[in-house]
Structure 1
Amino acid sequence: NRIQIKITYTLEFLSAFHLGTGLPNGLIDRAIARNKDGYLYVPGSTIKGVVRHRCEQLAKLYGLEANEPHTEESQRREANIRDPDIITRIFGSRFLPATLYFDDATMLEEDRAAYFDGSKPDDGIYKAKQIEERTQVSLSRRTRTAKSGRLYTSEYGIKSLRFKGQVYGIIDGLALEDEPEYNYSLLLLVAGLKSIDRIGGNKSSGAGQVTCTINDPVLVNGNSVNQRYLLELAPENLEYYKLAREMQA
Structure 2
Amino acid sequence: MSEKGVVKSRKRIDLQFKLRFDGAFAIQSGFPRGTIDRTVMRGLNGMPYIPASTLKGRVRDMAERVAPTLGYKNICRAPNPQFMCPELHGIDGEHCIVCRTFGAPGISARSGATGLIWRDAKLCDEKGEPLKDIDMAAQNDYYYSRTQAQLSRARGVALAKHLFTSENTLEGLLFRGRVRGWMQPTKEFDNGIPEGVVLLCAALKLLSFVGGGKSRGLGQCDIEFENMLKIDDKDIQTRLVLELVDQLGKS
Structures share fold, TM-score greater than 0.5: yes
Once the two structures are superposed, the pairs formed by residues 116-127 of structure 1 within 5 Å of their partners are: 121-122=134-135, 124-127=136-139
Instruction: Give 2:186's aligned residue.
Output: 174
Instruction: Give 1:107's aligned residue.
Output: 123
Instruction: Give 2:77's aligned residue.
Output: 68
Q: Mark the CA change 1:178 to 1:232 in structure 2 (over 3 Å): closer, same or farther.
A: same
Instruction: Give 1:198's aligned residue.
Output: 209
Q: Secondary structure at the match of 1:77?
A: coil
Q: Mark the CA change 1:203 to 1:28 in structure 2 (over 3 Å): closer, same or farther.
A: same
Once the two structures are superposed, the pairs formed by residues 84-233 of structure 1 within 5 Å of their partners are: 84-97=95-108, 99-109=115-125, 121-122=134-135, 124-179=136-191, 181-233=192-244
CA distance in 2, matches of 1:212, 1:42: 13
Q: Mark the CA change 1:171 to 1:121 in structure 2 (over 3 Å): closer, same or farther.
A: closer
CA distance in 2, matches of 1:169, 1:189: 13
Percent identity, aligned pairs only, is 29
Instruction: Give 1:58's aligned residue.
Output: 66
Stretches of structure 2 lacking an aligned partner (at least 5 in a row): 1-7, 109-113
* Structure 1 runs of 4+ with >6 Å offset: none
**What RMSD, in angstroms, separates the aligned Cα atoms of the two structures?**
2.3
More helix by share: 1
Q: Secondary structure at the match of 1:55?
A: helix
Q: Which residue type is aligned with residue 142 of structure 1?
A: A
Deviation (angstroms), 1:71: 7.0
User: For 1:120-157, what per-residue CA distance to the aligned partner results, in whole angstroms no more than 9, with x for missing partners?
Assistant: 953x1111111121111111222222121111111111
Q: Which residue type is aligned with residue 105 of structure 2?
A: R
CA distance in 1, matches of 2:89, 2:169: 37
CA distance in 2, matches of 1:177, 1:47: 27
On the 8 A contact 2:145/2:165 being kept in 1, the answer is: yes
Deviation (angstroms), 1:59: 0.2
Q: Secondary structure at the match of 1:125?
A: helix
On the 8 A contact 2:18/2:128 being kept in 1, the answer is: no
On the 8 A contact 1:81/1:95 being kept in 2, the answer is: no
Aligned residues: 234
Instruction: Give 1:30's aligned residue.
Output: 38
Deviation (angstroms), 1:176: 2.0
User: For 1:36-73, what per-residue CA distance to the aligned partner results, in whole angstroms no more than 9, with x for missing partners?
Assistant: 01111111110001100111111021131311122744
User: For 1:183-216, what per-residue CA distance to the aligned partner results, in whole angstroms no more than 9, with x for missing partners?
Assistant: 1111100111111111000112211000001112
Q: Secondary structure at the match of 2:39?
A: coil
Q: Which residue type is aligned with residue 120 of structure 2?
A: D
